[in-house]
Amino acid sequence: MSQNFVRVRFAPSPTGPLHLGGIRTALYNYLFAKKHGGTFILRMEDTDRKRWVSNSELYILETLKWCNIEPDEGVGYGGPYSPYYQSKRINIYRIYINKLLEKGDAYYAFDTDKDLDRKRKEYHDSGGSFSYNYKIRMKLNNSLTMTKKQLHDKLRSGSSYVIRFKIQPGEKLNMYDIIRGNIIVDTDHLDDKILLKSDGVATYHLANTIDDHIMKITHVLRGEEWLPSMSLHILLYKSFGWTPPNFAHLPLILRHNGKGKISKRNANLDFPIFPIQWKVPDTKIIIPGYRELGYFPEAFVNMLALLGWNPGIKREIFSLQELINFFSLEKINKSGVFFDVKKANWFNKKYLNKKKEEIFAFLCEEIKKRSIDKKDKDYLWKIIHLTIDRIHFIHEIWEHSFYFFISPSSYEDHFFHEICNKNAISKLDNAKILLYYADKFTSVNLKLLFTTNKQKIMQLLRLALVGILRGIDIFIILEMLGKEESIRRIEKLINQIKEKI
Ligand code: GLU
């Protein structure tokens, strides 16, 4: 097959936001298409109207845009196989289901839910299990057990029915998955799945197969949860007389603590699972996504790409173009992969180092917001260089640098109470004098001054200058604040202690 003809699709059901697994499926499809100069298609699998959620389509489009992996064709982009909504293709599916009926590969089934429940119970009570399959179908209420006339009458009377696929038993179906290799399925174990529901709408299996064929999809890359459906899909292709596409089922993304897979349902885990924020339609609660939490799309995409695929070299930072160049389906993991939010933060940090201008702009905004006297540019750049190692996100810069701009208005409670005594005052007084007489107010000199004086007052100084026991090297803080401001802050703490004792 010529590589130019690669056509892949991302085919989400608009039943809510995408989670990490969903967006990773989209990304792998995108990377594979771009690698082969192919086409990346977005198809909305929206036949299940009961599960349809209003803003999910927009969500999906916005997410793909944010990740910079936009489709070439499909919903929102148009293309030669429009419409790309399955709900608008109902008539197409009807044509094809009729072909299966004519061939005898599908049949009408009139069993009501109640009938089936009763049967299920009967089988269960006698120690067996019920499956609508070749063993049982001839005992049920379907067109296989009726004469033509009976069927005709039943249909004319308006009885409700579904259409089922007639699985031929006794076949060892040989399938190939690019990631998992050969898979053999015994058709005896398959049941006669519903292809057309009683409301006349095609099920996922039928619509998906027909669309993949009509839209000339060459490779189906999708989540592992669809692996059990692969045999049914292959049988459908066979029955239509079509060549199936190539399949690759992607490994599950698992929670790091071994608590199973990530799904839309675990939205309140201790790490984000949605790429961008999701507004829950009923409650209007907003669940932030990676975008809102300050992850860069490039970092997010880079992290996601390596969650289940490895480029075969010892390197972790890749631009989107590099990911495209290196991508191959053969290097995708077979087994589930663990997601670790710490690793996601690590990726963000790597990209943060290339975003200094943005950090600078953010810092300027924070200063402006608080009406702080504008500091000169060099001062701000110094702060950025001094604190960047401590942050993973742009917005964290303020909590790691506020003390360069504002004198503490309160002090870390626990430690403050501990040092509310005369001893602390005298230590602070000494430090003040040392600083006052220091000639060169540089971190190197100040360090020497304090070590030779063997005063163990570092924590006290930190409390005076920062207000909390955090922050960069205390001597650098002193140098940055300068003599006057440093002394002013020490005096402020002394006064506060005096007020308390
Ligand atoms: N509509 C399915 C889903 O939401 C797509 C499965 C497939 O790609 O075949 O997961």
**Residue 221 CA: which ligand 1 atom is closest?**
8
Residue at 347 is within a domain? no
Which residue's C-alpha comes closest to atom 10 of ligand 1?
12
Q: Which residues pair with 163 in a beta bridge?
A: 108, 196
Evaluate: CB of 13 within 6 angstroms of ligand 1. Answer: yes
Q: Is there a single domain that holds both residue 94 and residue 191?
A: yes
C-alpha distances in angstroms, 143 versus 113, 205, 262, 326, 358?
Answer: 17, 21, 42, 53, 68
Q: Is there a single domain that holds both residue 361 and residue 418?
A: no
**pLDDT of amino acid 373:** 84
**pLDDT of amino acid 261:** 75
Q: Where is the domain boundary, 196, 213, 239?
A: 196
| Collapsed DSSP state (helix, strand, coil) of residue 501 | coil
Q: Is there a single domain that holds both residue 307 and residue 364?
A: no
Residue at 247 is within a domain? no
Specify the pTM.
Answer: 0.92
Residue at 190 is within a domain? yes
**Residue 212 CA: which ligand 1 atom is closest?**
9
Q: Is there a single domain that holds both residue 127 and residue 192?
A: yes
Regions of the chain short of the pLDDT cut 70: 1-4, 257-259, 263-269, 452-456
Interval 221-255: pLDDT, tens: 999 999 999 999 999 999 999 999 999 999 999 98
Cα 17 to averaged position of ligand 1 atoms, centre (Å): 14
Residue at 204 is within a domain? no
Residue at 166 is within a domain? yes
Asked whether 411 and 496 are in contact (CB, 8 A), the reply is: yes
**pLDDT of amino acid 375:** 81
**Residue 204 CA: which ligand 1 atom is closest?**
1
Cα 222 to averaged position of ligand 1 atoms, centre (Å): 7
Q: Is there a single domain that holds both residue 494 and residue 417?
A: yes
Evaluate: CB of 207 within 6 angstroms of ligand 1. Answer: no
Look up residue 325 and give its two tokens. Answer: 């160049």
Is 492 an active-site residue?
no
Report phi then psi at 473, rounded to 5.
-45, 130
Evaluate: CB of 222 within 6 angstroms of ligand 1. Answer: yes
Cα 308 to averaged position of ligand 1 atoms, centre (Å): 18
Residue at 223 is within a domain? no
Q: Where is the domain boundary, 173, 196, 219?
A: 196
Q: Which long-range contacts (CB under 8 A, 24 or more apart) does 465-473 make?
A: 465/403, 465/408, 465/489, 465/490, 466/403, 466/408, 467/403, 467/408, 467/409, 467/410, 467/411, 467/412, 468/408, 468/411, 468/412, 469/412, 469/415, 471/400, 471/403, 472/386, 472/387, 472/390, 473/443
| Collapsed DSSP state (helix, strand, coil) of residue 393 | coil
**pLDDT of amino acid 303:** 98
Q: Where is the domain boundary, 335, 368, 393?
A: 335
Q: In which domain, by residue range, is 39 found?
A: 1-75+252-335
Q: Which of 238, 261, 264, 483 is catalytic?
A: 264
Q: Is there a single domain that holds both residue 362 and residue 305?
A: no
| 402 Rama class: left (phi>0) / alpha (psi -120 to 50) / beta | alpha
**Residue 222 CA: which ligand 1 atom is closest?**
8
How many domains does the chain fold into? 4
Residue at 34 is within a domain? yes
Q: Is there a single domain that holds both residue 425 and residue 372?
A: no
Q: Is there a single domain that holds both residue 101 and residue 180?
A: yes
CATH code for the domain in which residue 422 is found: 1.10.10.350
Residue at 9 is within a domain? yes
**pLDDT of amino acid 259:** 66
Cα 22 to averaged position of ligand 1 atoms, centre (Å): 9
Q: Is there a single domain that holds both residue 422 and residue 326?
A: no
**pLDDT of amino acid 454:** 59
Interval 112-158: pLDDT, tens: 999 999 999 999 999 999 999 999 999 999 999 999 999 999 999 99
Evaluate: CB of 11 within 6 angstroms of ligand 1. Answer: yes
**pLDDT of amino acid 270:** 72
Sign of the alpha-carbon dihedral angle for 476, 481, 483, 487: negative
Sign of the alpha-carbon dihedral angle for 119, 122, 124, 127: negative
Cα 40 to averaged position of ligand 1 atoms, centre (Å): 15
Q: Is there a single domain that holds both residue 400 and residue 417?
A: no
CATH code for the domain in which residue 143 is found: 3.90.800.10
CATH code for the domain in which residue 31 is found: 3.40.50.620
Q: Is there a single domain that holds both residue 270 and residue 295?
A: yes
The pairing of beta strand 73-74 with beta strand 172-177: unpaired
Q: Is there a single domain that holds both residue 94 and residue 189?
A: yes
